[in-house]
Structure 1
Amino acid sequence: MDVETSAKGREALASVPNTPGAPKPDPIVVGDGITRTFGGLTAVDVEHIEIQRGVITALIGPNGAGKTTLFNLLTGFDKPDAGDWSFNGNRLAGLPAFKVARLGMVRTFQLTKVLSKLTVIENMRLGATGQRGEHFWLSMLPPLWRAQEQANTERADDLLRRFKLDAKREDFAGSLSGGQRKLLEMARALMVDPELIMLDEPMAGVNPALKQSLLGHVKSLREEGRTVLFVEHDMDMVRDISDWVIVMAQGKIVAEGRPEQIMADPAVIDAYLGAHHDADLSELDEARIEAEATAELDQEAKND
């Protein structure tokens, strides 16, 4: 994974059409017919989705659009009613979340999932995979796993320095601020050395002082050649760091494209603000709306 991977990925997007479900030159994730319903509500109804390798893709949409539900489905934290998807050509449907992570596809959460009664360094060590000391019999033979744990600790310390959390190394994770917990989650995710990192609203609840730091860290993931997919409502962040934007509304993908194109797309404006939000009302329209409102008030008065 390197800068060249990122540059190639961004160059490849230049030829991608701005249509929902557009095929990508080198997709790391491909999904088809993914649906999820809750009772009578269809939360996700995605016909086709592809995530380009080596770039930062933003997944945006109004509240209730199905973004986090789609994250949960792709990463094995929820099961769809139908659909199939793959990561690096490996079929993921039906695979539990921990196996998805082992393949190199990890995610963070809107509400952070740090283990508050463990220290920061202990949280980091837990992020490492394939630890020999986790096996019952091997745990009784420290010489077989001590060197591996030392290597994991050194990697964890490097990441804590990178995310400026090294001063908090021995503090309980529960004592961290909301923004510091976001940083810890991102650092812990990197203990897996993932190819794809999925961030669910990384800026939610983060104070302005830490926002720029988080933005810089997300960009650095791309420069390492990693792929980033993130959910966000902060449109300034989306414009600043994303190479490609996918828009969801009512469970469906309604638009795709580069940030500057998406912000001017009528389908996106309608998804966020409602159709005809900027249309001028004629005098007849205004009179009709006023008459309907008056009639409703009169009816309520009669009922009382």
Structure 2
Amino acid sequence: MPADTNATTGPAALQGLATEPGVPKPDPILVGDKIKRSFGGLTAVDVGHIEVQRGAITALIGPNGAGKTTLFNLLTGFDKPDSGTWSFNDQSLSGVPAFKVARRGMVRTFQLTKVLAKLTVIENMRLGATGQRGEKFLSALFRPLWKSQEDEITRRADDLLARFKLDTKREDFAGSLSGGQRKLLEMARALMVDPELVMLDEPMAGVNPALKQSLLGRVKSLREDGRTVLFVEHDMDMVRDISDWVIVMAQGEIVAEGTPAQVMADERVIDAYLGAHHDTDLTELDHEAVQAQAEAELDEEEAKHDD
């Protein structure tokens, strides 16, 4: 996927934009309006407007409990908002389940990796591909119908494993990988869908220093391929190193936007981390309660869908 050289696309198009929350972008790939999510009496997300620039790397930062991961879950169909609308490539994603969001070209990874530990690395990669004829019951009985497609999927998987320096782990069980290697595998598997937008939830969490540079390089390479990246991260060195644009959340709201240099000097950001907002962050127990309720509600919705 070659990078677009259009003047309205990519990092260059962000130069000179205002630093106000929800500032319009020249070529947004993802747009959200009035997105709200509450758990009991606690408002976890209350985002008036958000836009993500196509072809750029955007960081979503904020103190613990700011609502970053909850917003990720809402945008990607892993949770449902109380209200709000959002679109990807001008197509509404409101009410679209997570697996269909991924098929449309918007994929995400998780803070806690979701690799299938008892499958090998190459098997995990093959599962990432969509539209496999061999997954249908009748077709599965006749190998000639899907053998050539599976061979092509395997070639693509091997190319990605080599690119992510996981080819030597090809036949290892995913459960035997280190935390950093699992992050790399999850990112590589996400690319099996050939997505336009890759959303990374704390890609550096739990990664040892030896693998951090490798991960940073892989994230940068996504932009070089012409893809868009939106990531949640607490590592400010990473944010400064690779971000083209930064969106700051506090208490569920977007409080500031801008280039890394602009954001780091913004009084609203300093306040969000160290001032008034800092005093009202969620406690660890509050955060666990919110997460538990979200998971319970999602399970209930899945049960209704299964019925």
What is residue 152 of structure 2 aligned with on the other side?
Answer: 151
What is residue 4 of structure 2 aligned with on the other side?
Answer: 4
Query: In structure 2, how many angstroms separate the alpha carbons of the residues matched to 1:77 and 1:189?
Result: 16
Between the aligned residues of both structures, percent identity stands at 81
Q: Is the 8 A contact 2:76 2:106 kept in 1?
A: yes
Find the structure with the greater CA-based Rg: 1
For 1:35-114, list aligned pairs within 5 A.
Answer: 35-114=36-115
AA aligned opposite 2:70: T
Q: Is the 8 A contact 2:109 2:187 kept in 1?
A: yes
For 1:175-190, list aligned pairs within 5 A.
Answer: 175-190=176-191
Shift of 1:276: 11
Shift of 1:4: 3.4
Q: Give runs of ≥4 in structure 1 deviating > 2 Å.
A: 3-8
Query: In structure 1, how many angstroms separate the alpha carbons of the residues matched to 2:153 and 2:141?
Result: 19
Correspondence 1:214 to 2:209: no
Q: Is the 8 A contact 2:23 2:50 kept in 1?
A: yes
Query: In structure 2, how many angstroms separate the alpha carbons of the residues matched to 1:249 and 1:261?
Result: 17
AA aligned opposite 1:246: I
For 1:1-304, list aligned pairs within 5 A.
Answer: 1-5=1-5, 8-275=9-276
Query: In structure 2, how many angstroms separate the alpha carbons of the residues matched to 1:5 and 1:69?
Result: 33
Query: In structure 2, how many angstroms separate the alpha carbons of the residues matched to 1:148 and 1:6?
Result: 34
Query: In structure 2, how many angstroms separate the alpha carbons of the residues matched to 1:187 and 1:72?
Result: 20
What is residue 301 of structure 2 aligned with on the other side?
Answer: none
RMSD: 1.3
SS at match of 1:4: coil
C-alpha deviations, 1:188-231, integer Å up to 9, x for none? 00000000000000000000000000000000000000000000
Query: In structure 1, how many angstroms separate the alpha carbons of the residues matched to 2:39 and 2:124?
Result: 33
Shift of 1:3: 2.9
Q: Is the 8 A contact 1:9 1:54 kept in 2?
A: yes
Shift of 1:9: 1.4
Query: In structure 2, how many angstroms separate the alpha carbons of the residues matched to 1:2 and 1:165?
Result: 24
Are the structure 2 counterparts of residues 6 and 112 from structure 1 closer, same or farther at C-alpha, using a change threshold of 3 Å? farther
Shift of 1:15: 3.4
Query: In structure 2, how many angstroms separate the alpha carbons of the residues matched to 1:87 and 1:186?
Result: 20
AA aligned opposite 1:166: D
Query: In structure 2, how many angstroms separate the alpha carbons of the residues matched to 1:189 and 1:108?
Result: 7
Consecutive unaligned residues in structure 1, runs of 5 or more = 278-304
Query: In structure 2, how many angstroms separate the alpha carbons of the residues matched to 1:208 and 1:276?
Result: 31
Shift of 1:114: 0.2
Consecutive unaligned residues in structure 2, runs of 5 or more = 279-307
SS at match of 1:171: coil
Instruction: State TM-score, norm by structure 1.
Output: 0.89
Query: In structure 2, how many angstroms separate the alpha carbons of the residues matched to 1:276 and 1:250?
Result: 7
Shift of 1:182: 0.1
AA aligned opposite 1:176: L
AA aligned opposite 1:237: M
Shift of 1:275: 4.1
C-alpha deviations, 1:118-148, integer Å up to 9, x for none? 0000000000000000011111111110000
Query: In structure 2, how many angstroms separate the alpha carbons of the residues matched to 1:31 and 1:276?
Result: 24
Query: In structure 1, how many angstroms separate the alpha carbons of the residues matched to 2:230 and 2:251?
Result: 20
Q: Is the 8 A contact 1:36 1:80 kept in 2?
A: yes
C-alpha deviations, 1:64-111, integer Å up to 9, x for none? 000000000000000000000000011001000000000000000000
Query: In structure 2, how many angstroms separate the alpha carbons of the residues matched to 1:275 and 1:42?
Result: 17
Instruction: State TM-score, norm by structure 2.
Output: 0.88
SS at match of 1:202: coil
